Amino acid sequence: MPPKPLPHPDLQSGASSIMSPTPSPIPAVPKVRRVRVYTRLSHALRKHLLAYCAATGRSERAVIEDAIARYLANPTKDPSTSGPLDRLAQAIDDDRRLRERQHRDLEVLSEAFGRFLRLWMIVHAPTFTHPDTPEGAETLSQQRATGEAFYKRLAAAVADHFRRGHRFVHDLPGLEGSRSQRDGKP
């Protein structure tokens, strides 16, 4: 008869120790279930991905998974997760809206200034004389006509300056982009 094998030291206490689980010092982490996704990348993008993975020490799966998670978290509100074309399109839209607002503001200011100037020239031309006689009334009429003529000349000069690229803001001292700052003069 062959000799009986010796029992394992952990099993010497009897059958009751076999039934009780041994406590583990590290709690079990549930395994993340994954699904295989097939996609095709251009050779240049794959090369770039491999270089990035090698430089950061991360797997391709981890890099791709993080990128997709960041994109899906908030693709429209966070420009850092959108691609360069999306950021460029957003910048172009923002610039267009800013230009439209500035154009509108400038049109309002131009209209208000033009109306004020016309009114000032019409109102102040007669203040230099007091018509007490028919000749005075004739003079007042001439002054109003002169005021209208001055207004038309001013409007033509402003339009001419505007067409040549001159802007009123360039004449204002102390503002960013004024002529004195562009020319280096105080």
Average per-residue pLDDT for the chain? 76
Quickly tell me which residue has 């406590």 as its tokens.
Answer: 23
Please, are residues 87 and 95 in contact by the beta-carbon 8 Å criterion?
A: no
SS3 for the chain, per residue? CCCCCCCCHHHCCCHHHHHCCCCCCCCCCCCCCCCCCCCCCCHHHHHHHHHHHHHHCCCHHHHHHHHHHHHHHCCCCCCCCCCHHHHHHHHHHHHHHHHHHHHHHHHHHHHHHHHHHHHHHHHHCHHHCCCCCHHHHHHHHHHHHHHHHHHHHHHHHHHHHHHCCCCHHHHCCCCCCCHHHHCCCC
Among 79, 75, 55, 52, CA closest to 64: 52
Q: What is the pLDDT, as a whole number, of residue 186?
A: 44
pLDDT per position as a tens digit, 3-19: 666 555 555 555 554 55
The residue ranking higher by pLDDT, 50 or 67, is: 50
- With a threshold of 0.95, does the pTM exceed it? no
Distances (CA, A) of 151 to 17, 108, 147: 109, 18, 6
